[in-house]
Structure 1
Amino acid sequence: MKRNMPGETKVKYKRMSRSKDDFLDIQFEKPPPKFPTKAILLSVVLFVLGSILLVIGSLLMTGYIDAKYGDRTWPVLILGSIMFIPGFYHVRIAYYAYQGYAGYSYDDIPEFE
């Protein structure tokens, strides 16, 4: 098994044929975007948990849940909002990129590794 040496990368190269032009179309081809599985999974989790917390906070605020838990209303609403907003934003981008809408790509979702 061949090991990569330090500084060596796993880049795939294409051989370009020589022509009379200095520039070739293949130089400007953009590689297909990589599907950010972890980032989309995290955004779905944030979206779902944020939605649940917002619903619970709304029920606390309106009084459908017992008033003895009233002191927890604002922290639940704030935490739900903090989780819901970025989760919804990235789930929406992932959905539009999946559907193929113009201007949306998986490259717009930040990926962490």
Structure 2
Amino acid sequence: MVRKDASTYTSPGRYQRLSQEDDGFVDAQFKAGPSRIPWKAISYAMLLFAAGTLLLVIGSLLVAGYIEEKYADRTWPLIILGALMFIPGAYHSYIAYYAFKGYDGYSFDDIPSYDDD
């Protein structure tokens, strides 16, 4: 069987000569396209971050006594709810900020998307 030379054929397609060493991987499989920015998820994270911060501040003011005693029964629910909102909001806002700035290791793919179309 005669071996054909790929350089003699003209074709409209772009082809790359394969390496003689087969490692089982193709370079194109590791190239990812540009990631889409999940705007809904980022806005939801910012909302959680802001609301959680507000609830934590109000709960802290209740514990410190800067707000009247008659609202003291709402102290711990506000702090717990504020923490539950603050933690994921701060985490995803942090990832979004660093991905937007282009730091290595941070990508918008790390933020769960809510079917942004």
- TM-score range (shorter-chain normalised) is 0.7 to 0.9
The one of 17, 42, 53 aligned to 1:20: 17
Secondary structure of 1:78's match? Answer: helix
- Normalised to the residue count of structure 2, the TM-score between the two structures is 0.78
Q: TM-score normalised to the size of structure 1?
A: 0.80
Query: Which structure 2 segments of 5+ residues have no match?
Result: 1-11, 20-24
Pairs within 5 Å for 1:37-76: 37-76=39-78
Cα distance in 1 for partners of 2:113, 2:42 equals 9
Greater CA radius of gyration, 1 or 2? 2
Opposite residue 46 of structure 2, the aligned amino acid is V
Partner amino acid for 1:98?
F
Give unmatched runs, 5+ long, in structure 1: 1-14
Equivalent pairs counted in the alignment come to: 99
Q: Percent sequence identity over matched residues?
A: 55
Aligned partner of 1:9 in structure 2 is: none
Which 4+ residue blocks in structure 1 deviate beyond 3 angstroms? Answer: 22-28
Using the TM superposition, give the Cα deviation of residue 74 of structure 1 relative to its aligned residue in structure 2, in angstroms: 0.3
